[in-house]
Amino acid sequence: MKILKIFQENCLPIEVYDEDDKDLESYIKELINIVELDSITILHLSNDSLILRPNKILSILVSEKENIIEVKPKRKKKESKVKKEDKQHEDVITDMD
């Protein structure tokens, strides 16, 4: 799986994923061809398409990941706030004469 992080002028980076099986070097060469274009173009990814204006792209970070695992923080268990009551022994008188 490829991870693309596209940096543009005056914008937050765009991060997209592509499940392309090509090796990283040939994949990057294809991206270079797109970035060198003068007109707006469409980058087709495995699950999405991205419309790009190549002359506004400053750089593209390309990473390759075998498996992406989403890690969520464990939630802390809430402690019981129930107060323990002290039970006192009481004598109960049931029969009065």
Please list the pLDDT of the chain residue by residue as tens digits (97 residues). 899 999 988 889 999 999 988 888 899 999 999 888 989 999 999 988 999 998 888 899 999 886 544 545 555 555 555 555 555 556 556 665 5
**Among 54, 61, 55, 57, residue whose Cα is nearest residue 15:** 61
Compute φ and ψ for 36, nearest 5 degrees.
-80, -10
Domain residue limits, the chain = 2-64
Q: Which amino acid is at 5?
A: K
**Among 9, 22, 10, residue whose Cα is nearest residue 64:** 22
Compute φ and ψ for 39, nearest 5 degrees.
-110, 170
Give pTM, 2 decimals: 0.62
Alpha helices in 1-97, H assignment, sequence order: 24-35
